[in-house]
């Protein structure tokens, strides 16, 4: 999770990793998930907040959060 904490994010969802120089464009849900991860919330807590914020079922939210976490692992931001 420490690599996520170093990300800088703009209001528009552009994330910049100062360690690698990589930039990522995030949609609203990706931006919200990363912010909640940076705050140290657990996956179930993040999923509850995403469910409430985007007005989707908890099952849908946790699936989305877990899939996003896999993508973060693939690009090396979850270590």
| Structural domains in the chain, sorted by start | 2-74 (1.10.10)
Whether 34 contacts 71, CB under 8 Å:
no
pTM: 0.88
Residue 79 has pLDDT above 70, yes or no: no
pLDDT of 15 over the 70 cut = yes
- Give the pLDDT confidence score for residue 1 in this predicted structure: 47
Give the chain's mean pLDDT: 91
Q: Does 14 score more than 90 pLDDT?
A: yes
Model confidence at 48, pLDDT cuts 50, 70, 90, reads very high
């Amino acid at each position: 999770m420490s690599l996520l904490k170093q990300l800088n994010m703009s209001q528009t969802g552009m994330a910049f990793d100062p360690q690698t120089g990589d930039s990522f464009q995030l949609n609203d849900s990706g931006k919200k998930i990363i912010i909640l991860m940076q705050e140290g919330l657990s996956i179930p807590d993040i999923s509850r907040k995403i469910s409430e914020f985007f007005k989707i079922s908890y099952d849908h939210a946790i699936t989305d959060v877990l899939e996003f976490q896999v993508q973060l692992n693939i690009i090396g931001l979850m270590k």
